[in-house]
Amino acid sequence: MALHQAGRLMEADGLYRQVLEADPSHSDALRLRGALAYQIGNPAAAVELLSAARKVDPDNPEVLTLLGLALEASGNAEGAEKAYRRALTLAPRSPEIWNNLGALLRDKGRQQDAAEAFGRAVVLKPDYVEAYQNLGVTLYRMGKLDAAIAAFEAGLDVAPGDADMLLNYGVALSDAGRTREAAACYADVLEKAPDDPDALTNLAAAQMRMEDLAGAEETARRALSLAPDSAGAMANLAMVLAAGRHFEEAEGLYHDALREAPDFADIWGNYGNLLMAADRLEDADVAYSKAAKLDPAEPRHAFQLGLCRLNQGDLRKGWALYESRIDCGASVPVETPKAPRWQGDALPGKSLLIVPEQGLGDEIRMLSCLTDAVGAAGDGATVTVGCDARLAPLIRRSFPKVRTVSREAASAHKADFSIPCASLPNLFRRNLGEFPDRAGYLRTDPALVETMAERVAALGGGVKVGIAWRSGLMRVRTQAALTAIAQWEPILSVPGVTFLNLQYGDVDAELAGRPVSVLDDVDLRNDLEAAAALTACCDLVINMGTSVGDMAGALGVPCWSLLLKPDWVTLGADRHPFYPNTKVFWRMPDEDWPAVLSRVAEALAATA
């Protein structure tokens, strides 16, 4: 045994063999030689030896545990689980056996059972770093981010500098939206191991989320230089470059990555993102389909394929795949009391809750299906719309048969049936012919509009144009779709126009010295009744495809939306099917915003 512990494995094996030649039933020799066989990567021999040891000593938990490890390594997961569970009947307070069982269950896809096993392990051994790591990873896979973060934090309390723990902790923090904290975790790893390619790769992703594309590119290139054959490092740099719209170099890196890892579903999915951003929809469809085939259990691939199909105008398949938005976390409906999913049938005497999800602009857009939903549910049904509380007065005025409940109150609202609001098009907009040709569907407060119109008229003559040049949600995925007000000078220079600010947030510094009127007492973010009234007083609204444009479209106000091509909301058309009054100005993949804004300025000059 001393030779075994000293790493002199062949000599130890020779001694064990000599003992067994003299006594084939020597339980310790069978156990130790079986453990050695497992250690050197010979699970078949380990199973044979440890099975023999079990026959001699059937109630030895150490033998059963080693047998479980050997069976698992040989591919016999069912036998391994039986061995671990038998060992636990003999040694129920062994944290190591609980940890081994948890790892097996996790690999079998039984995440809940695995989490419970790892939880037992850390209760029995509060300083068990490996079990905390396993527990955190399992909870992360289950989508329980807060619990996963707590597990990693507990592990780091025991082992503050554990690199693997810090990396996994950072990933969980990043997914929870705590990007700066995640970046700090990766930086901690890099402080001790500056050439750690995993930490560099993760840091690059965090920098990209923090809008530091230059920093992300530098970090990702360093990671690739340290691991030049790493498909993950190639794909990560490609993703950063694609975010900066450097499509050609990014595509070359994706090709290299897929040569190294042709069955890596996430790389196919991210390659699809590049192809879609480049408006190569058929190629993107192939990439997304490949990702979905390689990893059918990952809903993100189905969701991305759904957006691609919507961009191609395949609404029937696109909306069906779009349902995966919830499973992949792209949309999070408010959690409400359980109710059967409404299928679009009549509900005489029953109640229906339309569950809120997504952002303000998405809610406004999906309200375009509300008249259809009320009609399908029938006169005897009670339809309640869960919504952003800021929208409630507009909804009640526009749809008198509908009740509203705030997002917060929706979580306790009981109904006979429910449906997430963004699932309504899958029932009522399955082809472009089902989109009504109407001038808006939201109704403003007439008295408020009258008052606002007087104020707007006093600002000056000419065409009244409301503008919004950015979003309050600045993320890397939307960065390329937004502009700075300084880029709008060609538009703001068009004569015969009175420009009105519709951009919510603090805009004083941006608009200083520019010919844009600001009604300081109108809270464009929180008072949507006033914002809608001001929008209704505009002859035209120009925006970057944000909620400002959705409000204009829903009110029937003429609107120009400047969008990156492609944008799924147009459903493969060169117009906006949800809003017939909206004209789309595309930024093509090889264009920059100044070129688009110049075209808009020319069009405005022709209109004014």
DSSP per-residue codes, 543-580: ESSSHHHHHHHHHT--EEEEEESP-GGGTTSSS-TT-T
Q: Taking residues 111-139, what's their average pLDDT?
A: 95
Structural domain count of the chain: 3
550-593: per-residue pLDDT in tens?
A: 999 999 999 999 999 999 999 999 899 999 999 999 999 999 99
Together in a domain, 426 and 457 = no
Could you say which of 38, 66, 92 is where a domain stops? Answer: 92
Give percent of the chain above pLDDT 70.
89
Residue 86: per-residue pLDDT:
87
Residue 17: per-residue pLDDT:
57
Structure-token match 């003299």, residue found: 22
Q: Higher model confidence: residue 121 or residue 33?
A: 121
Together in a domain, 450 and 410 = no
Residue 22: per-residue pLDDT:
52
Q: Taking residues 150-161, what's their average pLDDT?
A: 96
pLDDT, mean over the chain: 90
Q: Taking residues 321-339, what's their average pLDDT?
A: 90
425 in any annotated domain: yes
Q: Higher model confidence: residue 5 or residue 158?
A: 158
Residue 23: per-residue pLDDT:
45
Residue 2 has pLDDT above 50, yes or no: no
Residue 6: per-residue pLDDT:
42
Tokens of 27: 């339980």
Residue 62 has pLDDT above 80, yes or no: no
Together in a domain, 554 and 525 = yes
Together in a domain, 497 and 420 = no
186-237: per-residue pLDDT in tens?
A: 999 999 999 998 999 999 999 998 989 999 999 999 999 999 999 999 999 9
Residue 561: per-residue pLDDT:
97
582: CB partners within 8 A, 6+ apart: 549, 552, 553, 558, 559, 560, 561, 575, 576
Could you say which of 92, 116, 132 is where a domain stops? Answer: 92
Residue 145 has pLDDT above 80, yes or no: yes
Together in a domain, 356 and 396 = yes
Together in a domain, 480 and 400 = no
481-507: per-residue pLDDT in tens?
A: 778 999 999 999 999 999 999 999 999
Q: Higher model confidence: residue 142 or residue 517?
A: 517
Q: For the domain that residue 507 is a member of, what is the CATH number?
A: 3.40.50.2000
202 in any annotated domain: no
Could you say which of 36, 66, 92 is where a domain stops? Answer: 92
What backbone torsions phi and psi does residue 42 show, to the nearest 5 degrees?
-120, 75
Together in a domain, 521 and 385 = no
* CA-wise closest residue to 231 among 212, 196, 257, 211: 257
407 in any annotated domain: yes
CB atoms within 10 A of CB 78: 10
Residue pair 290/264 in contact (Cβ under 8 Å)? The answer is no
Q: For the domain that residue 51 is a member of, what is the CATH number?
A: 1.25.40.10
Residue 477 has pLDDT above 90, yes or no: no
Q: pLDDT tier at 143 (50, 70, 90 boundaries)? A: confident
Together in a domain, 421 and 453 = no
315 in any annotated domain: no
37 in any annotated domain: yes
161 in any annotated domain: no
Residue 11 has pLDDT above 90, yes or no: no
Domain of 36? 1-92
Residue 29: per-residue pLDDT:
57
270 in any annotated domain: no
Residue pair 369/429 in contact (Cβ under 8 Å)? The answer is yes
Dihedral angle over CA of 402, 406, 407, 412, nearest 10: -90
Residue pair 419/438 in contact (Cβ under 8 Å)? The answer is no
422 in any annotated domain: yes
Together in a domain, 558 and 486 = yes
64-85: per-residue pLDDT in tens?
A: 777 677 777 788 888 888 888 9
Together in a domain, 410 and 466 = no
Together in a domain, 506 and 593 = yes
| DSSP character at residue 427 | H
Together in a domain, 404 and 506 = no
Q: Out of 8-22, 111-125, 176-190, 443-457, which region has the weakest mean confidence (pLDDT)?
A: 8-22
Residue 73: per-residue pLDDT:
76
